[in-house]
Chain A
Amino acid sequence: MKQLIFALALFASPVSVGPVSAQTSGQGGDLGAPVAEGGTVETLGETGAETEEGGLSFTVTDESDWSDIGVAIAGFAADRDRPTPANANGTAALGREISRVITANLRNNGIFRPVGPDSLPQPSFAQITAPSWGSWSGRGVEMLVHGYVSARADGRLTVGCYLYDVALQDELIREGWVVPPADWRRAAHKCSDLIYSRLTGESPFFDSRIAYIAETGPKDKRIKRLAIMDSDGANHRFLTLGSATALTPRYSPDYKKLLYLSYVDGNPRIYVYDIGTGRQQLVAETGNPTFAPRWSPDGRNILYSMAVGGNTDIYRVSANGGRSVRLTDTPGIDIGGSYSPDGSKIVFESDRSGSQQCYVMDADGTNQRRLTFFGGRCATPEWSPRGDQIVFTRIAGDFNIAVMNPNGRNLRVLTSGWQDEAPTWAPNGRIIQFFRTTRNSGRSNLWQVDLTGRNERRLKTPVDASDPAWGPILP
């Protein structure tokens, strides 16, 4: 099943490396063909959910072994088996595929013990709303997921998702979505999010995308391409061709644009790339090198760092262009920057004290003060979308991923690789993605770790990967 998802990603990639027709933008010499934007997902009425109790609570310091909820995900039933562009074998086969995607999602975060459709009985369409309890109670699972898929006359798909408590023989929540056939996986992610949120009390994160840098070639001639994919690695696309080194992408909050660094004109410069049109333009018209691009949470402003005469400072510019405002003004390297979710503060990195440390300032650049004093160095800080933590690269001998409170206290180291770098938050602020570089070979891959540090896994990508940036939950 995992192989199947992976195969989809592999198939998607070469197809997307289309003609070099997107040279529409003057400086777009390394751009691939533009990627079609996804359709919209329509949510059908949510019913049957009591919202007064908050689900299981999840605290960062929780040491109990509750990370083991058995969940059976039966094959989604089709009202009747009909052809659909989403699956060559019709809606019945698509229903089982949706269940497999949900199973993989739930398996990968250490909270659930999912059992997928290939080792379970297939419920009929009528049983989706009336489970055959007798066949589920003896399987050692506490939760049961049912669902259905139905092809509409307009070609779109209706997907329903139901979560049941097996012991109580009771429905916990249900929801449905109408999706274009090409977006069938989003229905599976929405259902995964529904289950995850209902059982953990946390915000959803599966229905989201990741931008990153795909790497191939030897260590001294690495080819680095801008790439995007779904949160589970599916729907993989290369956006640049690899003739120019691409680095450090960031998704805009509405997923319509990407900020990233490219050497396409021979110099490190940050560009804003429009995913729908395949056009890009410089973020700042300057003869100076620019790097470390970041969006404000509302997408209206862009932070970037610019070196003038070797001295790097952080600037802010409107996403619509215009004059840049300089936010830092110290000798040394002030770089990066990540807004608090309310947009009022920025955490950033500076070596003004003599080594890389994390600092915080108000969004207008005032009240700059140092946050970290732990002895090592603090780099690439990113404020959690929940606001309660800051994740960063902790350099103390090796490079590890660590979190701290926004006041710089309660530092906790989450990983122990040789070089773990550039953490990015899942949209719900509970899982962190980063890249891990292997000593000597220089090869790197994407990894995820949860806030306990106990659940760590590699996210498979078609080729080596670095510089991940997780976008928000899709609308």
Chain B
Amino acid sequence: MNTRLATIALLSGTIALAGCAKKAPEQLPPAPEQTTTDNGTTVAPLEDTGPTLGSQAHFEDAVNGQNVIYFDTDRFNIDSADAAALQTQAQYLSQYRAISITIEGHADERGTREYNLALGERRANSAKNYLTSLGVDANRIRTVSYGKERPVALASNAAAWAQNRRAVSVVIN
């Protein structure tokens, strides 16, 4: 990741193009203060750089929060809203060819556990297939299904279930 820091200044202009009307990212970018890396060394804060290339926040900012697509009950087809989101993701991935992603497939709680694991895998693959049809190398896209094990909306109603039937693209670090 550190090697990518140097390129940030060059790329920040293109990031700004996609930057209007963004949704709040799921994961907030790191706070601008002293942080400790995994190997224990302290990294001095950089001044006003925005999210780092290679981070999930950078990806989500660049795709305008469209790293998540949603599905109808028991469905796994890519509708027009999904297609637009995936096109934005494909643009990002064609721009940053060093980046690989995991597509996490999810289902709502109103399904049996094992079927939902298979359904989540099918949804993740739908998204993957669409991205590869847009020219993204399949080797850069990993899939994993969490079935109904990782909901984001916790109520038991139609609105919550609609938010949970999703495929989430996550940058692999």
Are A307 and B155 within 8 A (Cβ)? no
Contacts between chains A and B (CB distance < 8 A), count: 92
Q: A437-B109, A439-B156 are in contact. Are A307 and B122 (CB under 8 A)?
A: yes
Complex: chain B residue closest to A222, CB-CB: B149
Tell me the count of chain B residues lying within 8 A, CB to CB, of chain A.
29
Q: A220-B152, A222-B149, A312-B122 are in contact. Are A442 and B117 (CB under 8 A)?
A: no
Complex: chain B residue closest to A309, CB-CB: B125
What is the CB-to-nearest-CB distance from A401 to chain B, in angstroms, rounded to a whole number? 12
Bound CA–CA A373/B151 (angstroms): 31
Q: Tell me, yes or no, whether A267 is within 8 Å of chain B by CB.
A: yes
Please indicate the chain B residues that have their CB under 8 angstroms from the CB of A442 in the complex. Answer: 109, 151, 154, 156
Q: A333-B118, A336-B114 are in contact. Are A310 and B154 (CB under 8 A)?
A: no
Q: Tell me, yes or no, whether B91 is within 8 Å of chain A by CB.
A: no
Interface residues of B in 90-145 (CB under 8 A from A): 109-110, 112-115, 117-119, 121-126, 129, 143-145
Are A333 and B122 within 8 A (Cβ)? yes
Are A245 and B149 within 8 A (Cβ)? yes
Please indicate the chain A residues that have their CB under 8 angstroms from the CB of B74 in the complex. Answer: 351, 355
Please indicate the chain B residues that have their CB under 8 angstroms from the CB of A311 in the complex. Answer: 122
Are A220 and B150 within 8 A (Cβ)? yes
Give the bracket for the number of chain A residues in contact with chain B.
35 or more
Please indicate the chain B residues that have their CB under 8 angstroms from the CB of A335 in the complex. Answer: 114-115, 118
| Contact residue among A218, A222, A261, A333 (Cβ-Cβ distance under 8 Å from B115) | A333
Bound CA–CA A56/B109 (angstroms): 43
Please indicate the chain A residues that have their CB under 8 angstroms from the CB of B154 in the complex. Answer: 218-220, 440, 442
Q: A220-B152, A307-B122 are in contact. Are A379 and B115 (CB under 8 A)?
A: yes
Are B145 and A268 within 8 A (Cβ)? yes
Please indicate the chain B residues that have their CB under 8 angstroms from the CB of A437 in the complex. Answer: 109
Are A310 and B112 within 8 A (Cβ)? no
Bound CA–CA A355/B129 (angstroms): 23
Please indicate the chain B residues that have their CB under 8 angstroms from the CB of A245 in the complex. Answer: 149
Interface residues of A in 291-322 (CB under 8 A from B): 291-292, 305, 307, 309-312
Please indicate the chain B residues that have their CB under 8 angstroms from the CB of A439 in the complex. Answer: 156
| Contact residue among B118, B125, B144, B152 (Cβ-Cβ distance under 8 Å from A305) | B118
What is the CB-to-nearest-CB distance from B50 to chain A, in angstroms, rounded to a whole number? 28
Are A267 and B115 within 8 A (Cβ)? no
| Contact residue among A266, A351, A379 (Cβ-Cβ distance under 8 Å from B144) | A266
Are B118 and A380 within 8 A (Cβ)? no
Q: Tell me, yes or no, whether A289 is within 8 Å of chain B by CB.
A: yes
Complex: chain A residue closest to B164, CB-CB: A220
Bound CA–CA A261/B121 (angstroms): 15
What is the CB-to-nearest-CB distance from B34 to chain A, in angstroms, rounded to a whole number? 28
Bound CA–CA A229/B110 (angstroms): 28
| Contact residue among A222, A355, A380, A419 (Cβ-Cβ distance under 8 Å from B114) | A380
Are A307 and B121 within 8 A (Cβ)? yes
Q: Tell me, yes or no, whether A421 is within 8 Å of chain B by CB.
A: yes
What is the CB-to-nearest-CB distance from B96 to chain A, in angstroms, rounded to a whole number? 23
The 4 closest A-B pairs by CB, nearest first: A310-B125, A312-B118, A379-B112, A307-B121
- 12 of the cross-chain contacts (CB-CB < 8 Å) are A289-B144, A310-B122, A310-B126, A336-B114, A351-B74, A356-B112, A419-B110, A421-B112, A421-B113, A437-B109, A442-B156, A467-B113
Q: Which residues of B contact A (CB under 8 A)?
A: 74, 76, 109-110, 112-115, 117-119, 121-126, 129, 143-145, 147, 149-152, 154-156
